[in-house]
Amino acid sequence: MALNRWLIAILLLLLAGSALGAVEIREFEDPVTKQRYQDLTASMRCPLCENQAINDSDAPISGDMRERVYQLLQDGKSDTEIINHMVQRFGEYILYNPRLENRTYLLWGIPVVLVLLGILLVVWMVRARRNASATSLSTEERARLDELINRERSS
Amino acid sequence: MKRRLLLFLPLVGFLLLAVFLYLRLSEDPSYRDSALVARNFPEFEASTLEDPDRRVDQSVLTGEVTLVNVWGEWCPACKQEMPQLLDLADRGVRMVGVNYRDTREKGREFLTEFGNPFELNIFDPEGDIGFDLGVYGAPETFLVDADGIIRYHHTGYISPADVSDTIMPEVEKWR
């Protein structure tokens, strides 16, 4: 029992450490802005780290970017303006959701094309199967089927 | 027979994907397209590291092809690339430094110790100029043409080979 308590205490301490993490405390006037801040910082990739959002990264540049997002939100900038502000400086790389444009048509298009191809394939297979089952029995097969049924009944 | 061949489609798809992924493996994952190439050097207003009373803006970078190097005393790779920067200055390239997230004292000590290839150093203690340049770690180097347009962006350490293979050809190209 005592051991269990210790384990729980240690576990809680470990959790507390990870929660302290990278992110500073910010105050927002309204919950909407707070939500926008969280969404924006979760949707941008840290330019220094290979695959971490800026809300999850200890890199100095991520701190600077969070600070800038916060400042721009305080200045009343829209989400699009803030995203453009960042892309202008750090490039498309930072967007977890690449924008739809010439060079990303393939990226966004392939999943759609694949799903359509899958649907076509299913339709094609169902049709093929339906046609196969719809062919009627030849007289020979009919006679053999009757024989089998009759044998079953008489036994 | 034709239907039999169709069964190989998934295998073909798999092989194509495998080749694609294999080729991508050998690429440098830290490589980024710079967002600033072909754009004007961002506007700024700052003092110089050398003289707190001297205010400069983006116009100090125009008139001649200039290599702008973002550095800080705290950055080990900046020390290692100093000999290459001195070499570039010797070859007649106009060099301007951006002293990034540093204190005046430490910045000046750095230049005394490792040499000073820079005509002047723009003092950027808060990293604001760096932010507008999309700098995410020093050293980074920008080639600015005579009209103040960024033409080339080198991220990270400049090796002696980089000087002759990429930097000098780029400088010549925009002169």
| Topology of the domain covering B37-174 | Glutaredoxin (3.40.30)
Number of helical H runs and strand E runs in chain A: 6, 0
Residue B45 pLDDT > 70, yes or no? yes
Asked if A59 and A125 sit in the same domain, the reply is no
Contact call for residues B54 and B121 (beta carbons, < 8 A): no
Gap between the Cα atoms of B114 and B75, Å rounded: 13
Q: Domain range spanning residue A145?
A: 104-154
Per-residue pLDDT reduced to its tens digit, A18-34: 444 556 788 888 999 99
CB < 8 Å to A91, chain B = 32-35, 134
Give me the residues paired with residue B154 across strands.
B141
CB < 8 Å to B132, chain A = 89
Q: What is the model's pLDDT at position A16?
A: 57
CATH number where A73 lies: 1.10.8.640
Cα B38–Cα B39–Cα B41 angle in degrees, nearest 5: 125
ipTM of the complex: 0.82
For residue A47, the chain B residue with the least C-alpha distance is B136
Gap between the Cα atoms of A49 and A61, Å rounded: 10
Is the Cβ of A48 closer than 8 Å to some Cβ of chain B?
yes
Q: What is the pTM of this model?
A: 0.75
Per-residue pLDDT reduced to its tens digit, A33-73: 999 999 999 999 999 887 899 999 999 999 999 999 999 99
Give me the residues paired with residue B122 across strands.
B48, B98
Per-residue pLDDT reduced to its tens digit, A131-152: 776 667 788 888 898 899 998 8
Mean pLDDT, residues A67-85 taken together: 95
Per-residue pLDDT reduced to its tens digit, B76-109: 999 999 999 999 999 999 999 999 999 999 999 9
Q: Which of A99, A115, A142 is the last residue of a domain?
A: A99
Is the Cβ of A98 closer than 8 Å to some Cβ of chain B?
no
Partner residue opposite B136 with nearest CB, options A47, A68, A87: A47
Cα A117–Cα A121–Cα A124 angle in degrees, nearest 5: 135
Give me the residues paired with residue B153 across strands.
B142
Asked if A69 and A12 sit in the same domain, the reply is yes
Nearest to A81 by CA among A90, A68, A72: A72
Asked if A87 and A114 sit in the same domain, the reply is no
Listed by start position, the domains of chain B span 37-174
Asked if A79 and A109 sit in the same domain, the reply is no
